[in-house]
Structure 1
Amino acid sequence: MARVLIIGGGIVGLSSAYYLHKAGHQVTVIDKGDMTDNCSHGNAGMIVPSHFIPLATPGMVSQGIRWMFSSKSPFYVKPSLNPELISWGLKFLKKANAAHVEKSAIPLTELSLLSKKLYQELSKEPDFEFDLVEKGILMFYKTEKAGEEEAHMAEKGRQLGLDMKVLSPADCMKLQPKLNLDVLGAVHYACDAHLSPNKLMTALLKYLRAVGVNLVTNKEVTKIETSNGKVSRVWSSWEEFTADEYVVAGGSWSPSIGKLLGLKILLMPGKGYSFNVQDNAEIMQIPALLAEARVAITPMNGGLRYGGTMELDRINNRVNMNRVKGIVESVPKYFPGLKPVVPQQKDIWFGFRPSSADGLPYIGRSNKYSNLTIATGHGMMGLSLGAATGLLVTEVISGKPTSININEFAPDR
């Protein structure tokens, strides 16, 4: 049994704590907040084996440049001389090629399917009710170009063993007869699922407290000591924490934690927005993705959660209302019967997705420190991949063979 200190109390940190405790380790989780409002709470709650294409793709470069000239676009990179952004951008450009996309598909699919299986198992545990629904997700499109791209993606998905079907508008209406459509078609990602992230995080926190995992809140890590190729202690202001094994699972704050260790964890925070509308849950039973608009809509807690955008910038507390308006205005173009209004700023949630330059998460041992494991960089799929990452972290620390091959996720790649 090892004493393990996890830095970060999001879905990856708490999932790691869950599986580490199950494996018999003594676990402490430390977080700079109270673990109730991080990026794991406000997302769309989608479990997405369908998302086997990393962010770094050839088409994303030209599309991203076009989007940068619209304040309502789904993707935005704030021009800056920030050296982290420059390093990130150069690696993104290097990896945005067909060979990288092809190479990434299998490991991403294996990671996603493992996570889905673990969520299925977790949902059967007592006190873990988080509304797991396995009806898939519908990716709607309005243009021939998007339809061709989605059909190609569906074919690739089927080659990977995923259940993905191209549907006509009439097929879509059979699945959701109350939903008024103005689309050319959709792809049904029947392999996908969704859940309530708020309920999942609440259940994890309650369970971990009950079994004696030490949850240390509102303590920001300010110093990390190392010696002889190992992490020796962690400081939060004047408080000291020691362990046998250490895990960096700090989400978008992981690079600043890495700096305390002399490590460069290359990722950028991608700000996303979401808001809830307590209406229309009976109209939409299956979550929707809007292909051209890059908007997600999920039935959740008796209403609908709308989410979208990816702003790459430094961590900040600004709410860009134009981005939120872009989400709102896109919805009736696909679903004329759904007309959400722009919410008040106080009702808009935002969080920072830790986005690696090549679109793959970092999971595994650090080459520099023998007792340090890194688990971050999941981008928009943190919740989807959280359970699998937690299990893999546990297997690494326990010295067991990992459930899947994690070489492509090596932190020092």
Structure 2
Amino acid sequence: MGKQKVIIIGAGITGLFSAYYLLQEGFEVTLIDKGNLTDNCSSGNAGMIVPSHFIPLAAPGMISKGIKWMFNSRSPFYVKPSLNPELLRWGIQFWKHANAKHLAVSAEPLRDFHLLSKNLYNNLTSEGTIEFGLKHKGILMLYKNAEVGEEEIHVAKQAKDLGLDVDILDAAQVQELEPYVTLDVAGAVHYKCDAHLYPNQLVQNLITYLKERGVGILTDSAITSIEIKNNHINAVHTAQQKHEADLFVLTGGAWLPGLAKRAGLDIPLMPGKGYSFMHQPGDDQIVHPALLLEAKVAVTPMNGQVRFGGTMEIAPVNNKINMKRVEGIWNAIPQYYRNYKVAMPQPDQIWYGFRPCSPDGLPYLGYTKKIENLIVAGGHGMMGVSLAPATGKMVAQLAARQQTLMDISLFSPDRFA
């Protein structure tokens, strides 16, 4: 009997890590993607590994903030008003979950998920098989006003209760950590448990690694239909050909709901459009990755440059660059890094991608009851890079019918069915 064949639909960061760990378990793996692998969402990602992000997107206070932000075209979070039934359903579920009870249930599993990924990233670095610029400098949550500071210090205390390594810093202590720039902040929380990497290098080196070890990667191959008989997928079809396998893994990023529908599944998810751009610093080096809290802007030093990114625009997939939203990111920079000169990027210097956002802010991971040979792995929102290795590792464990490294029942792909 030969190796079991697995087809992964979607070659984003989750699909690539699923292939990596499935290969280690001895499966024959093929990745099928509708794109050409140059435009996947993780390439413009902030590259942060974030155990600090134990609070899901659907969190207490997000509804009132979201309503306020909807009237500001430069705001960090925006839901485009629409009668789209998928958006309305997503919004109702988001509203149902944006409460303290949901946070209490989600915090520990999310923390464990991120810490598992961080350990796997550390293992990859120590093995030396794939290089991706991993740095353990933590992440600074920079704040300017007392109210936001109070909220963040409250979260930091929750983080400490969860066993995470966190420091609460005043303005002078933060400035000591950033000697090459002049900060204009009231203080910060330093999540020393966090880390960062260079996602472009990670994606490219993973692709190279997989190709060299015989993983088939089929690009420009959108799935046109899924052949199902007796709760079992026999094959998937692209415009070019039919592909058969023993087991299928559905990743698909922001395109997951459409792919799921082809398999007769209902997996609610909306694209959260975000933007980023790169800056080449001179002597004004930024040492630590940071989140500019009031502006919800991510700042990551990587590969000798700095990546600025942000905004979360919940709307159907569209390829327009909203320059006002990019301006919102750009305007925030000198408010925190005084005298830090960054040119407003031109449209051709701006990257954008669609984060796959589930309505409760939790990923989807596991087998589905309807189809016995299908594993779903997606819906990671802004945390795709941070959660990808742990997701891929547990996809491989599920495929091999092993016990997963953590309880994933909260992440069931059937939870809204």
Report the counterpart of residue 408 of structure 2 in structure 1.
Answer: 406
Report the counterpart of residue 107 of structure 1 in structure 2.
Answer: 109
Asked if 2 retains the 8 angstrom alpha-carbon contact of 1:281 and 1:299, the reply is no
Instruction: Please give the residue correspondences for 1:177-216 in structure 2 after superposition, counting only pairs within 5 Å.
Output: 177-216=179-218
Structure 2: gaps of 5 or more residues: none
Asked if 2 retains the 8 angstrom alpha-carbon contact of 1:328 and 1:339, the reply is no
1:358 aligns with 2:360: yes
Instruction: Choose from 23, 45, 48 the match for 1:46.
Output: 48
Alpha-carbon offset, residue 341 of structure 1: 2.1
Partner Cα distance (1:283, 1:391) in 2: 36
Residue-by-residue CA offset, 1:309-360 (whole Å, 9 max, x unaligned): 0000110101000000000001111111323221110110000000000000
Asked if 1 retains the 8 angstrom alpha-carbon contact of 2:272 and 2:355, the reply is yes
Report the counterpart of residue 393 of structure 1 in structure 2.
Answer: 395
Report the counterpart of residue 18 of structure 2 in structure 1.
Answer: 16
* Partner SS for 1:265: coil
* Partner SS for 1:107: helix
Report the counterpart of residue 381 of structure 1 in structure 2.
Answer: 383
Alpha-carbon offset, residue 387 of structure 1: 0.5
Partner Cα distance (1:36, 1:392) in 2: 26
Alpha-carbon offset, residue 58 of structure 1: 2.1
Residue-by-residue CA offset, 1:119-176 (whole Å, 9 max, x unaligned): 1111223341111000100000011111011101110001111011110111112211
Report the counterpart of residue 344 of structure 1 in structure 2.
Answer: 346
Asked if 2 retains the 8 angstrom alpha-carbon contact of 1:297 and 1:306, the reply is yes
Report the counterpart of residue 272 of structure 1 in structure 2.
Answer: 274
Partner Cα distance (2:408, 2:18) in 1: 16
Partner Cα distance (1:339, 1:97) in 2: 40
CA RMSD of aligned residues (A): 0.9
Alpha-carbon offset, residue 114 of structure 1: 0.2
Report the counterpart of residue 172 of structure 2 in structure 1.
Answer: 170
Runs of 4+ in 1 over 3 A off after TM superposition: none
Asked if 1 retains the 8 angstrom alpha-carbon contact of 2:114 and 2:387, the reply is yes
Report the counterpart of residue 3 of structure 1 in structure 2.
Answer: 5
Asked if 1 retains the 8 angstrom alpha-carbon contact of 2:317 and 2:354, the reply is yes
Partner Cα distance (2:82, 2:143) in 1: 33
Alpha-carbon offset, residue 40 of structure 1: 1.1
Asked if 1 retains the 8 angstrom alpha-carbon contact of 2:137 and 2:288, the reply is yes
Task: Tell me the amino acid that sits aligned with residue 67 of structure 1.
Answer: W
Partner Cα distance (2:37, 2:402) in 1: 29
* Partner SS for 2:41: coil
Asked if 2 retains the 8 angstrom alpha-carbon contact of 1:360 and 1:409, the reply is yes
Report the counterpart of residue 131 of structure 2 in structure 1.
Answer: 129
Structure 1: gaps of 5 or more residues: none
Instruction: Choose from 254, 257, 262 the match for 1:255.
Output: 257
Partner Cα distance (1:281, 1:13) in 2: 38
Report the counterpart of residue 321 of structure 1 in structure 2.
Answer: 323
Instruction: Please give the residue correspondences for 1:80-95 in structure 2 after superposition, counting only pairs within 5 Å.
Output: 80-95=82-97
Asked if 2 retains the 8 angstrom alpha-carbon contact of 1:272 and 1:311, the reply is yes
* Partner SS for 1:80: coil
Alpha-carbon offset, residue 281 of structure 1: 7.4
TM-score normalized with structure 2 length: 0.98
Partner Cα distance (2:325, 2:187) in 1: 26
Change (3 A) 1:259 1:280: farther
Task: Tell me the amino acid that sits aligned with residue 224 of structure 1.
Answer: I
Report the counterpart of residue 25 of structure 1 in structure 2.
Answer: 27
Aligned residues: 413
Partner Cα distance (1:112, 1:366) in 2: 23
Change (3 A) 1:146 1:81: same
Change (3 A) 1:280 1:98: farther
Task: Tell me the amino acid that sits aligned with residue 183 of structure 1.
Answer: V
Identity %: 54
TM-score normalized with structure 1 length: 0.99
Asked if 2 retains the 8 angstrom alpha-carbon contact of 1:247 and 1:375, the reply is yes
Residue-by-residue CA offset, 1:209-246 (whole Å, 9 max, x unaligned): 00000011110001001001111110001410010000
Partner Cα distance (1:280, 1:208) in 2: 37
Partner Cα distance (1:182, 1:365) in 2: 48
Report the counterpart of residue 225 of structure 1 in structure 2.
Answer: 227
1:34 aligns with 2:36: yes
Alpha-carbon offset, residue 301 of structure 1: 1.2
Residue-by-residue CA offset, 1:95-123 (whole Å, 9 max, x unaligned): 11100011100100000000000011112
Task: Tell me the amino acid that sits aligned with residue 233 of structure 2.
Answer: V
Partner Cα distance (2:384, 2:260) in 1: 19
Partner Cα distance (2:147, 2:400) in 1: 48
Partner Cα distance (2:192, 2:106) in 1: 21
Asked if 2 retains the 8 angstrom alpha-carbon contact of 1:32 and 1:220, the reply is yes
Instruction: Please give the residue correspondences for 1:138-153 in structure 2 after superposition, counting only pairs within 5 Å.
Output: 138-153=140-155
Report the counterpart of residue 116 of structure 1 in structure 2.
Answer: 118
Task: Tell me the amino acid that sits aligned with residue 102 of structure 2.
Answer: H
* Partner SS for 1:41: helix
* Partner SS for 2:375: strand
Asked if 1 retains the 8 angstrom alpha-carbon contact of 2:221 and 2:240, the reply is no
Instruction: Choose from 71, 74, 83 the match for 1:72.
Output: 74
Partner Cα distance (2:129, 2:219) in 1: 23
Partner Cα distance (1:157, 1:53) in 2: 10
Larger CA deviation: 216-225 vs 338-347:
338-347
Residue-by-residue CA offset, 1:10-42 (whole Å, 9 max, x unaligned): 000000000000110000000001112210111
Asked if 2 retains the 8 angstrom alpha-carbon contact of 1:280 and 1:303, the reply is no
Asked if 2 retains the 8 angstrom alpha-carbon contact of 1:252 and 1:267, the reply is yes
Partner Cα distance (1:155, 1:165) in 2: 10
